[in-house]
Structure 1
Amino acid sequence: MSKLVSVLKKVEVVREQLDAMCIGKQGPALRVMDLAYVISEVYKLQIEMVVVDFRADHLKGNLERYSDGRARVLVRADLNDAEKRLVAVKELCHLFIDEKDDWSADGTATIDAYLKMESAVGEGEDRPIAGNTIHSELMAMLAATELMYPQEYREADALKMAEEGATLSSIALEHEIPAYVIRHAITNKVTLDHAREMLGEERKAA
């Protein structure tokens, strides 16, 4: 949970910098290139975003880091636009949430292990404690969800779905994200709310 609190804190910093450094308010659809710009400026990185043509069963993108401060975000060319946006944001999130222990040179093994872990548990169940790299994938997905579907939209959207007949797909279209990102936010609501409470307590104690 302490790692998630740290991730939420870093996401808040990035969102604050998006508002401060970029023209116009973000949302409901996050501007991905604005995010890349902010991360490059705040963390002193040279980021290259590349759409690549490759075949894979599960791997949708990857992040290459270099010791000279360069980073390449690779996104699979055959994905739809919403998936491309999500993959790009998730890989960008690794640049500001990961510690060196989270890094892995074996992307395919990481994804395979992540999928096995996800399929081993159902909605509402506690996930097993994962290795550093797999845990990093989960944290990056949560960070991407917080950036692309921020908390301030969720209550109003829940009312739209309950009272106005809106669907996950229609809400997702507004934010230009896959519908499962919204489901991901709903599934992890209790965990995220608890982490926010811990972050609030931490700030009060500071």
Structure 2
Amino acid sequence: MGTPRDSREDQVADVVDRLHEEYPDTTISLEFSNRLELLIAVILSAQCTDERVNTVTADLFEKYDGPEDYAAVDQDELAEDLNSVTYYNNKAGYIREACTKMIEDHDGEVPDTMSELTDLPGVGRKTANVVLQHGHDVVEGIVVDTHVQRLTRRLGITEEKRPEAIEEDLMPVVPESEWQDFTHLMISHGRAVCSARNPDCGECVVEDLCPSSKLDHGTDLASGEAW
């Protein structure tokens, strides 16, 4: 049945207010200095920690300057430069192909629309949302990463499972002014307190709003299921 819309909106408002107090300076943790670097960092971050990505890109962004460099480099060389991130061969291919397409179709610039971004190899809606928000100051949706997916389901804000379905379900109940911050608040709280396997409910500032709290419902998360 899910939670009624009005009560979901009230719950989201309470969650957002409390998490803003807990994490007042939360923002994107990937390190970049331009839109291309942001796009590449986000592609690399899929199923990989931002900390690892930042370590890799510190050298990567010194070696390559502009989409032409990435498009021209040999696939094996770029893959070797990325070999400490997950799926580095695939990601090397995506980066080379995306940069080639940007050169051919966008004068070497990172596109500024959802449709053009998602038309690039290796770029789905989540990646496009991040690039739009932090590269172009355009907020069209809510970035749904693993933390957002896990926490919104644990909190009972959504019952959806697929990231795009979760985003569609969240957008009507999260104020549009909070769409960007909502993701970062979820990520900060997921990292600090509400981890996948060992959520620290006793230290959680939204525990009383959470139907999955171990303090009240010991069977919900006791198995350590990582949603």
Length-normalised TM-score, structure 1: 0.29
Larger C-alpha radius of gyration, 1 or 2? 2
Greater strand percent: which structure? 1
Length-normalised TM-score, structure 2: 0.27
